[in-house]
A = this chain, B = another copy of it.
């Protein structure tokens, strides 16, 4: 099925907002194995929108529009589609009642302008919008499918997931299942090399993505039914785990902090942090886990050398692994936690390149082990990667204890 996406709205052409609807739909179509050939954006102008629609009708089998379904005069998608298909708009009493009820739930009457959102053409069936007043349309005519959806991402995505995706999936007669495998510790090129022989497989497909917290691999399998899709994904996941097991820290919606938090909760352990050099980034990251209050005591952040001393670090210790170890013990002791993480670091320059040396130590009561790792960082955005690596190192240490 050849697909095309059209986003409607003058605001898109001002560059004031990013068109995330198109990206979302593009990735959804990709998952369904539907070929997307063109995307375009057009302003709230009847003539130009009609031109784009006519062309899409001519060259594509599935056309999806977002935007232009609001109640104001600017919102012209309904009118343009009616014109494209040579049909008349009329108010549908059921749709009208749905919009009146929507406003009633808000405790207000329906503004008269909203009545236009209840108008529809004979070849369209409406797609309910539980999050707003703009219903979408599903049209099948002359061997083509045209779907109109509202522009606000929350309304669009809910309509897509509940009303459009299932109907399209019926057509493609396939189930798509995906799984994201998350790694840290190797570069994207190194990950690519390790899984090179799997990357060319069309189904299940495998793709890599570089993210701030590591390199991700996405497995997507397409099969006639869910059971087979699950089996395909599981087999490919096993292949990936065999190759990259030591670097995998999570899947799908996992975050470093939640994965570590889960282990700490399971072990009845608590954690505290002392950071010099990383300005509270580690503390703030760990505290971002919604369950952190049950295991994370807090962090001591020294932004200057004086502050490090004021917190109780021996002034004789020079920056580096011993200072990181002292920070780890300090955090554990001061905040009465079973495990302390300490970070220290300094900046090094060889004339051309500035490198950050980051030292991370873990002081664990249980293992009486004090592991210090050091990371060299050439780009500021890599500093965060080093902090995430520290969380992963602690997770490994805890897992090996158990």
Residues of A bordering B, CB below 8 Å: 12-20, 22-30, 36-43, 45, 48, 51-52, 55, 59, 207, 209, 272, 279-281, 283-284, 287-288, 292-293, 296-304, 306-307, 310-311, 334-336
Contact = CB atoms under 8 A, between A and B. Distances in A.
B40 A12 contact: no
Contact of A288 (B16, B36, B279, B292): B279
A18 B15 contact: no
A311 B334 CA distance: 8
Nearest to A40: B40
A292 B45 CA distance: 50
A39 B27 contact: no
Contact of A14 (B27, B40, B280, B302): B27
A20 B23 contact: no
A18 B298 CA distance: 36
Closest 7 CB pairs of A and B: A279-B287, A15-B27, A15-B26, A280-B283, A280-B284, A40-B40, A298-B307
Contacts of A41: 22, 38-40
A39 B41 CA distance: 5
Nearest to A287: B279
Nearest to A276: B298
A287 B345 CA distance: 15
A42 B310 CA distance: 59
A15 B23 contact: yes
Contacts of A51: 59
Contact of A292 (B20, B40, B279, B300): B279
Contact of A16 (B12, B27, B306): B27
A25 B16 contact: no
B18 A23 contact: yes
A209 B296 contact: no
B301 A299 contact: yes
5 contacts: A12-B26, A13-B37, A281-B284, A298-B303, A311-B334
A261 to B, nearest CB: 12
Contact of A30 (B14, B18, B281): B14
Contact of A334 (B38, B298, B299, B310): B310
A28 B24 CA distance: 25
B40 A15 contact: no
A387 to B, nearest CB: 11
A42 B18 CA distance: 18
Nearest to A300: B300
Contacts of A303: 287, 292-293, 296-299
Contacts of A301: 280, 283, 287, 298-301
Interface centre among A17, A209, A284 (most CB of B within 10 A): A284
A269 to B, nearest CB: 14
A37 B26 contact: no
A139 to B, nearest CB: 22
Given A283-B284, A293-B304, A298-B307, A52 B30 contact: no
Contacts of A297: 302-304, 306-307, 310
A13 to B, nearest CB: 5
A48 B39 CA distance: 12
A273 B28 CA distance: 45
Contacts of A311: 298, 334-335
Given A279-B283, A292-B303, A39 B16 contact: no
Centre residue among A293, A297, A301 by max chain B CB count within 10 A: A301
